[in-house]
Structure 1
């Protein structure tokens, strides 16, 4: 096992925020590809497959990548971590499934709140259980308060986009899928982070992540192909194929950071980046239905404040449960 130095919070948290900026951009690209193909699962397959190609090239071209590649099979064979950790990419595939099946029904706003709520709650749980490479981290009152404020701030930021007149009961079942996908994302980050420690490189962990997710999505798409046929042919514009490479960035950075920051703080940092990136896209490249109101800006700022609250080095025992 390769021991790499841990990053201090002041360096790691901005990296998490920067990685989170790519998530809404990837979502915008994959969403446009899904519309172009008239096939949401097909768009997810393209995204994961291009990401897999990029990670394969990086793994072979870079010395660090080749070294990590050589450690994958020995690490799995010697059970240096639970073998099911290699299936972490299936959680990413589930998240893409959740987007494909529920965003059209719920809207991006409600989907985001459900996913962030699940991810924030599980971030506390995963840190407490010590599943990630950072080990066990206590559930303190400050961390709980910061998590609750994060969820509330995200809900406030996206509130202008909520559709009116829909029954809560009508939305309850569809909301459970992004809630579950978000909840499992913290486990994915912990599993990838642990694998990174044993592979000696986030490159290898990201490659394995894309292999597992791509296999699952290809299987799902083949079933869909047999049932309802193919969608439109692949478009010629190059930018439709950037979703996978962008995924390589935030999956790899997440796998690198959880050892230093823990799962909760890494997730909160990425949530902040996601909101900032969404706000920037809506201001610079608005799409039909885009709403940038005062709650959007203030909710984003409150999210940043909540994350600072949850990550500052408070005195030992402050509001500890």
Structure 2
């Protein structure tokens, strides 16, 4: 079975942050495409479809991609991992679908908090259960605290965008969708990381993700067309179609990083990048209705501090010495 060397923390964490920075850009592009088509599900199909075409080309042209594809069926037949790890792409498709369904109801601020909350909780669980390629990882008090601090920091950063007079009953049920989507994100990263370890490359796992996600979204889109009719014509501007390639890079990075950093730390690094990227977009390319306050900036900085906290070593030896003295 091929193995690649583990990445040092000093390199892996900045890469996780960089991958997270790409997500607000992808969200802005896909959101604009959804508005142009007047169909969020159609925009998700376009995003996943372009990503699928790109991954097919990459896997066929890159030697490691071709070699990895040849290892997929043997790995599944040899039960190197449970076959349902191949369904990790359902998580990405569900996240995009939940965005299209709920953002107009609860707003992007509450959507972000719900996703981050779900991802932070599941990151602890997935590391503890050992679903990722790094196996079981001890969840230290510092890492648990950093997960809680991340949720609080993101909520603080987006708090200026909350509707002041909103009715809680109107968003309580819709918020469960992004919460579940965020919870599934850590499992997706773990499943992809395990597959990549056995394939010797993240490319086949990324391709399988886009195949599964595209099929699921096409089924949802066909059902929507049958009920509500087709979307508007596709736009001619090239930048509307960058969401898929950005998603390819994000999934591939996550599949590589979870082996070295673990699911929780990879997720926290990407969350920090996502919040920082959102702040930079709001500063330099603000969307209509953008609000930036002191809470926005300080909440973003607190998110970065939470990630740093998760990287600190837990002094287990000192506690062991105290136990022996007693």
Q: How far off its partner does 1:174 sit?
A: 0.7
Distance 1:319 1:251 in 2: 38
TM-score (norm 2): 0.96
Q: How far off its partner does 1:317 sit?
A: 6.0
Distance 2:318 2:133 in 1: 24
Q: How far off its partner does 1:169 sit?
A: 2.5
What pairs with 1:51-90 in structure 2 (closer than 5 Å)?
A: 51-90=51-90
Distance 2:204 2:286 in 1: 36
Matched residue SS, 1:165: coil
Q: Which residue of 1 aligns with 2:272?
A: 272
Q: Which residue of 1 aligns with 2:37?
A: 37
Q: How far off its partner does 1:318 sit?
A: 7.7
Q: Which residue of 2 aligns with 1:100?
A: 100
Distance 2:13 2:35 in 1: 34
Q: How far off its partner does 1:166 sit?
A: 1.3
Q: How far off its partner does 1:185 sit?
A: 0.5
Q: In 1, are the aligned partners of 2:81 and 2:195 still within 8 Å (CA)?
A: yes
Counterparts in 2 of 1:296 and 1:62: CA distance versus 1, 3 Å: same
* Cα displacement string for residues 64-118 of structure 1 (whole angstroms, at most 9, x for unaligned residues): 1111111112212222110011110011000001100001111110000000000
Q: Which residue of 2 aligns with 1:243?
A: 243
Distance 2:174 2:140 in 1: 32
Q: How far off its partner does 1:144 sit?
A: 1.1
Distance 1:14 1:156 in 2: 23
Counterparts in 2 of 1:27 and 1:317: CA distance versus 1, 3 Å: farther
Q: In 1, are the aligned partners of 2:89 and 2:209 still within 8 Å (CA)?
A: yes
Q: Which residue of 1 aligns with 2:202?
A: 202
Q: Which residue of 2 aligns with 1:154?
A: 154
Q: Which residue of 2 aligns with 1:312?
A: 312
Distance 1:14 1:65 in 2: 25
Distance 1:239 1:72 in 2: 33
Q: In 2, are the aligned partners of 1:123 and 1:267 still within 8 Å (CA)?
A: yes
Q: In 1, are the aligned partners of 2:140 and 2:314 still within 8 Å (CA)?
A: no
* Aligned length in residues: 320
Matched residue SS, 1:7: coil
Q: Which residue of 1 aligns with 2:176?
A: 176
Distance 1:68 1:289 in 2: 46
TM-score (norm 1): 0.98
Distance 1:316 1:146 in 2: 17
Q: Which residue of 1 aligns with 2:21?
A: 21
Q: How far off its partner does 1:170 sit?
A: 2.2
Q: In 2, are the aligned partners of 1:118 and 1:183 still within 8 Å (CA)?
A: yes
Distance 1:212 1:185 in 2: 15
Bigger drift between 306-315 and 101-110 goes to 306-315
Which sections of structure 2, spanning at least 5 residues, go unmatched?
321-326
Bigger drift between 98-107 and 134-143 goes to 134-143
- Is 2:143 aligned against 1:143? yes
Q: Considering only aligned residues, what root-mean-square deviation do their CA atoms show, in Å?
A: 1.2
Q: Which residue of 2 aligns with 1:133?
A: 133
Name the larger-Rg structure.
Answer: 2
Q: In 2, are the aligned partners of 1:118 and 1:179 still within 8 Å (CA)?
A: yes
Which sections of structure 1, spanning at least 5 residues, go unmatched?
none
- Is 2:120 aligned against 1:120? yes
Matched residue SS, 2:26: helix
Matched residue SS, 1:297: helix
* Cα displacement string for residues 205-255 of structure 1 (whole angstroms, at most 9, x for unaligned residues): 101111110010011111111111101000000000000000011110000
Distance 1:53 1:47 in 2: 10
